[in-house]
Chains A and B, each alone.
Chain A
Amino acid sequence: MHRYIIRRLLLMIPTLLGVAILIFVLMRLLPGDIVEIRLASEGAYVSQETINKERARLGLDKPLWRQFLDWLWGVARFDLGQSMWTGRAITYEIGIRFQLSLQIAIMATLVAVILAIPLGTLAALKQDTWVDYAVRVFSIAGLATPSFWLGILILLTFLIFFRWAPPMVYTPIWVDPVANLSQLTWPALATGYRYSAVVMRMTRSSVLEVLREDYIRTARAKGLWERLILVRHALKNAMLPVLTVTGLEFAFLIGGLVVTEQVFNLNGLGKLFVDAVGHHDYTLVQGLVLLVAFVFAFTNLVVDVLYAWLDPRIRYQ
């Protein structure tokens, strides 16, 4: 098992290296570099000399391969460098927003799992009845509803019916749980609905598949209580693929919440990404994208390891 984990961690390196190259190249393809954007926004005349000096300060005068290797060498030492726009450390810029994004991702996962697993199982048990149709329509509607629109509707409902708007400023949950939850519950609900639809569909089809297995028939044949068959035999096995989609979606929520954050005016990783791209803040975008890709690869690994732990038939070499 340890050897498997180590091999998987090593396999992450080429993928992350690919991500690093891709985002590095994409950022350099942006029209106009950060120095021009920043100095242009100040409006006054700037001499070429100033521009050159600023480029040299940020290390942008070096050849591209050199810039890339410098950056990579930093990453290898867990040093993502400084934001070219604010001058603060990138770990700091990401750190202050990571809390918020992580909390929304966790809360959305809770919403999704609490909704999806009972409803998905119910739909599978009552296959092709009106219950099944209702659950499926509910879940397909979840896939179809843009979460930003759902967010607008939630805010609208509060404004029109309760004349209330969620607080604008982020409070960490350990400082004031009420203020924290009254701000973050709504974006978590808006994203959780779509998320639950994905998990619900997987739960339904997975339970359906397991219920057709021979050992379920055997369990029924020996007269086992139906509820026990469902919980002890069917659900336990059906949960593996559900775990995979839950993990994937969770990984994508960190950093992938761009639009929902916009609606709820949240200062999370998605907004940081959009702003950084707008500023052509090379180092910040690179660091952020690498982090998102790492979270994704790492979550995949955790899911696979959980598989072996949950299902004794799976043994990795």
Chain B
Amino acid sequence: MATRETVVAPPPSPLEVPPRARWWRAVGRFVRQKPLGTGGAAIVLFMILVAVFADVLAPYDPLDTDYLNMFSPPSYHHWLGTDDFGRDILSRLIYGSRTALLVGFVSAFLGATLGLIIGVASAYFGGTTDLLVQRVLDVFLSFPLIILALAVVAVFGTGVGNVILAITIPLIPRCARVVRSSALAIRAIPYVDAARACGFSHWRIILRHMLPNVVAPYLIMLTAFQGQAILLEASLSFLGLGVQEPVPAWGLMLRGGAEQYAESAPWMAIFPGLAISLAVFAFNIFGDALRDVLDPRLRGTT
């Protein structure tokens, strides 16, 4: 039945439908088919808005210490309470979303993109190059994420920039692996050889002819990495090896005072963790839905 349907209603050709309408239609279909994923996308959008308008939304300065109001429980003045320096937790959470999203977006983008290029190039050149690249990827893949990230932080030091680097490096081989397997299938299609026969350069073929065909796994890895990067940043900061005080970051808020005074001031430990979970949860359900729509075969790779 399914095959007959596609014969009866061929997909609209790009010439008939203006690009804008196609784009809206795709979004509309996504919303109807994937209510969970749409919910995730809505939360992500909400967080981006919070991060952008943090200055307007935050009731206090996230760095303002108030020693008369240390450990105050959630109240009208401090909705989510204050920490061991009397800083407003809600304001710190709001500003912390900037750190989380910045690290998440930049390292996921860099990790997935570099992985994409390595994966496609490896599949395109094949032979010895492919073999060598795969062995190098094997080396990086035999470390747990956090161990490699910790080693990188140890060498380059802490701080936002280095944390991004430390998260990007372990993500690259994970994307390269997945992209390579898709690119191998593309490589086998004769048009790649035809392009070569036309005298196009290797990089032109890789960038213009092969990359566009592996966009689906790339986008899927990109969204999956957002959540992983945010979790990893939180873990590093929690260990004291990530973002440094006084920069507001969710993982950092769980460190030190939050653990030490957890019994008397549990709000310090509860809310930052909720923020991390919600952010990663949103990215994950959005990523899952995107994967189902774009390429269901990739289930289980992320």
Contact = CB atoms under 8 A, between A and B. Distances in A.
Given A258-B147, A259-B239, A141 B300 contact: no
Contact of A15 (B139, B239, B285, B299): B139
Interface string A200-221: 0110011000000000000000
Contacts of B263: 156, 159-160
Contacts, number: 134
Interface string B122-152: 0000000000000110111011111100111
Interface residues of A, number: 50
A148 B235 contact: yes
Contacts of A156: 262-263, 266, 269-270
B238 A262 contact: yes
Given A15-B138, A289-B143, A258 B280 contact: no
Given A143-B227, A149-B254, A259-B239, A19 B139 contact: yes
A34 to B, nearest CB: 13
Interface residues of B, number: 47
Interface string B215-255: 00000000000010001001100110100000000010010
B80 to A, nearest CB: 16
Interface string A207-243: 0000000000000000000000000000000000100
B280 A152 contact: no
Contacts of B151: 23, 26, 277, 285, 289
A241 B300 CA distance: 9
A274 B150 contact: yes
Contact of B262 (A159, A206, A259, A297): A159
A272 to B, nearest CB: 11
A9 to B, nearest CB: 15
Interface in B286-302: 288, 299-300
B39 to A, nearest CB: 10
A273 B300 CA distance: 30
B150 A149 contact: no
Contact of B277 (A23, A141, A152, A201): A141
A263 interface: yes
28 contacts: A15-B135, A26-B154, A29-B155, A30-B154, A31-B157, A133-B36, A137-B36, A140-B281, A143-B284, A144-B280, A144-B281, A145-B273, A146-B276, A149-B272, A159-B263, A160-B263, A241-B300, A245-B300, A252-B145, A255-B144, A255-B147, A258-B147, A259-B146, A277-B150, A278-B154, A292-B143, A292-B144, A296-B143
Given A145-B280, A146-B273, A152-B273, 20 more contacts: A15-B135, A15-B142, A19-B139, A19-B143, A136-B36, A141-B277, A143-B280, A144-B280, A148-B238, A148-B254, A149-B269, A152-B269, A155-B262, A156-B262, A159-B263, A160-B263, A160-B266, A256-B146, A258-B147, A292-B147
Interface of A: 14-15, 18-19, 22-23, 26, 29-31, 133, 136-137, 140-141, 143-146, 148-149, 152-153, 155-156, 159-160, 201-202, 205-206, 241, 245, 252, 255-256, 258-259, 262-263, 273-274, 277-278, 285, 289, 292-293, 296-297
